[in-house]
Structure 1
Amino acid sequence: MNNNWIIEKKYANARLDKFLVEQLPTESRSKLQKKIAAGGVTVNDVAVNKHHFLNVGDVVKMIEVEEQAVDIQADAQDIPILYEDDAIVVIDKPVGVLVHPVPHRKQWTLVDWILERYPEVAGVGEDDVRPGIVHRLDREVSGVLLICKTAEAHHSIKQQFMKRIVKKDYRAIVYGVPSLPSDVIKFGIAHSKTKQGKMAAKPEHEAAKDAWTEFDVIEAKHNRYALLAVRIKTGRTHQIRAHLAAIDHPVVGDTIYMSKHYRGQKPAPRLFLHALNLEIIHPTTGEKIAFEAPLPSAFAEFLG
């Protein structure tokens, strides 16, 4: 039985559950809907719901998942709000919080928090799995994250990201000290062919997407670690982590991209990557506005 499909033109705008019923006539719609709800069906590697509408080129996959109770441990933690008005809300995302649902895991996410606090955001944006969200941070990354409250704000901010108007500034602690005090990394990025969930910088195939990362060394510690200011113009999955690993300075605490010769170093309490600043054109006023999430104390504590 085929468990993977690439959406052709004739299925554009088809609803996911109806598409699967047609592809798998021996399966009942209710059974397929339950599998979708359990995270057992992804579109472009993202868990979606049965109402998701497909686009040409989408990759639909059916995967095996284990039924799990929802992990609500993050539910109780406070989500700091940095700024809020009628159009947007900006938060300081804590480490360990998933932004949206993913396959294989049924647990509390930032989307749950959004819908609990701002139920009117449901339906904002093109993807009902990520209401109001126009960018994301990895689960292990903390810092500034913007959520749109209205369709108009979502469209405006999305266009700013696409046109690379948005300015994003990060802080990272890396292994080793880069040889140059400032540098730009422009390696293309694509999904790794050897490890699921990992991205590859400098991949040797045409699927690579352009990526641009600039950094400055702020502080060096005993030639073992360096604190970097990092800016990106593109927003590829794991971009900063993959780019820094590609120049042999992986982010401290990164179990996915750490090279073998850095293993056995001082234990890291977290992934030391933090989204410090975000600057946009406000979707209502048209004025530039910037937001900052203070650098967590763990950074200074680790560097000593």
Structure 2
Amino acid sequence: MDIFLTKALDRTRSFVQKLIENGNVWVNQKQIVKTSHKVKSGDLIRVVIPEPVSLNLTPQDIDIEIVYEDEHLAVINKPRGMVVHPGAGNYDSTLVNALLYRFEGKLSSINGVIRPGIVHRLDKDTSGLLIVAKTNEAHIKLSEALKNHRIKRVYFAICEGVLEEDSGIINAPIGRHPVNRLKMAVVPNGKEATTYFEVLERFDKYTFVKLRLKTGRTHQIRVHMSYIGHPLLGDVLYGRPKNEFGVEGQLLHAGEIEFVHPVENKPMSFKVELPDYFKEILEALRKRSQKQDKIQH
């Protein structure tokens, strides 16, 4: 049902799934709440799209780094610690508040009033590149490209432990954790999830890695790295509660993104450097490794 309505209504799949789960879809006068409901020929489907809830989101003059901008989209370098869009307990100082101010409200409305322009997300403590849609046309095409794995996203991270393989593929389905609903987990009935990793540097107790996503599940890199026994440094949800650097929040940076412009149909490629705090920890690990090498020799 969610796949059928996504095409029929020309909306994002997440928007349609919420409609179904909130009881806004009827099939042959019977209300359904399962997105997996099978559509049959001859079905009479009724959909009620609620009026947008006015949350009076306030545009806020928050400094954000705009890597690229045109009339259709923008590419943002999101800082660590910034929530992407409003939610429970976070109704201001989010990226959306900053975008509303910076672009004077000229953002796509596909994802409703809470997530205007937001095509994909980064976790609060993940820094790096994010695409924002200004028009509905750009949003729909970017969402389609994302779903079909045509947006290349490269991340950099420091994980705990020393990875033995120089590169590898983690292919393990991800779904909601069976006990802790705040977490995701590798579960048998989860959604397909694939992460590619490549070792950049090894240290005594840590590994600096480059990661590429094929799919984009919630917390995917964090879940997959924890699953193979190498949680990200600072990740208190999927790793250790404390670490020697006093970092709170995973060291994960979305450093590269490539896609085809949704309207102008030209290739787009962007890169941003690692944040200073990330570089400082890397430098500390390198110095420590050099000292250990000297002692051994």
* Pairwise same-fold verdict (TM > 0.5): yes
Of 122, 125, 128 in structure 1, the residue corresponding to residue 113 of structure 2 is 128
Specify the alignment match of 1:50 in structure 2: 53
The residue correspondences of 1:14-25 to structure 2 (distance < 5 A) are: 14-16=48-50
Aligned to 1:60: none
- Does structure 2 conserve the Cα–Cα contact (< 8 Å) formed by 1:169 and 1:231? yes
Identity %: 35
Q: Deviations over 1:26-69 (max 9, x none)?
A: xxxxxxxxxxxxxxxxxxxxxxx6279xxxxxxxxxxxxxxxxx
* 8 Å CA contact 2:24, 2:49 repeated in 1: no
Does 2:203 align with 1:221? yes
1:8 CA displacement: 6.0
Aligned residue in 1 for 2:261: 282
Which residue matches 1:163?
Answer: 148
Q: Which ranges of structure 2 fall in alignment gaps of 5 or more residues?
A: 1-20, 32-45, 285-297
- Cα distance change, pair 16–86 in 1 and its aligned pair in 2 (3 A): closer
Who is 1:189 aligned against?
174
1:1-304 equivalences in 2 (<5 Å): 7=23, 9-10=25-26, 13-16=47-50, 50=53, 77-201=62-186, 203-204=187-188, 206=189, 208-222=190-204, 224-259=205-240, 263=242, 265-268=244-247, 270-303=249-282, 304=284
Q: C-alpha distance in 1, partners of 2:24/2:75?
A: 37
CA spacing shift, 1:126–1:165, aligned 2, 3 Å: same
CA root-mean-square deviation = 2.5
Please state how far the C-alpha of 1:86 moved relative to its aligned partner. 1.2
2:131 is paired with a residue whose SS is strand
Distance in 2 of aligned mates of 1:264 and 1:273 = 15
SS of the residue corresponding to residue 95 of structure 1 reads coil
Change (3 A) 1:266 1:110: closer
Runs of 4+ deviating beyond 4 Å = none
Q: Whole-Å Cα distance in 2 between the matches of residues 252 and 219 of structure 1?
A: 15
Residue segments in structure 1 that go unaligned for 5+ positions in a row:
18-48, 53-69
Letter in 2 for 1:139: K
Label 1:259 to 1:246 Cα distance change in 2 as closer, same or farther (>3 A). Answer: farther
Deviation at 1:92, TM superposition (A): 0.5
SS in 1 for 2:239: coil
Quote the offset at 1:271 in angstroms.
Answer: 2.1
Task: Report the CA distance between 1:284 and its aligned residue.
Answer: 2.4
Instruction: Please tell me whether the aligned partners of residues 172 and 194 of structure 2 are also in contact (alpha carbons under 8 angstroms).
Output: yes
Q: Quick one: distance in 1 between partners of 2:249 and 2:192?
A: 28
- State how far apart, in whole Å, the 2-side matches of 1:252 and 1:78 are: 27
Counterpart in 1 of 2:37? none
The answer to whether the 8 A contact 1:124-1:131 is kept is: yes
Matched to 1:281, the amino acid is: V
Distance of aligned partners of 1:258 and 1:159 in 2 relative to their CA distance in 1, 3 Å threshold: same
Please give the alpha-carbon distance, in whole angstroms, between the structure 2 residues aligned to 1:120 and 1:76.
13
Residue 164 to residue 269, structure 1, CA distance change in 2 (3 Å): same
Work out the CA distance in 1 between the residues paired with 2:50 and 2:273.
41
Give the match's secondary structure for 2:238.
coil
* Cα-to-partner distance string for 1:214-247 (whole Å, 9 max, x where unaligned): 000100111x011100000100000000000000
1:165-193 deviation per Cα after TM superposition (whole angstroms, max 9, x unaligned) = 00000000000111211010011000112
Single out whichever of 187-196 and 208-217 deviates more from structure 2: 187-196
Cα distance change on mapping 1:133 and 1:105 into 2, 3 Å: closer
Aligned residue type for 1:159: E
* TM-fit CA distance, 1:119: 2.9
CA contact (8 A) 1:124 1:148 kept: no
Question: What is the one-letter code of the residue matched to 1:108?
Answer: S
Q: Distance in 1 between matches of 2:109 and 2:24?
A: 26
Amino acid at match of 1:217: V
Asked if the contact 1:248/1:259 (under 8 Å) is kept, the reply is no
TM-score (norm 1): 0.74
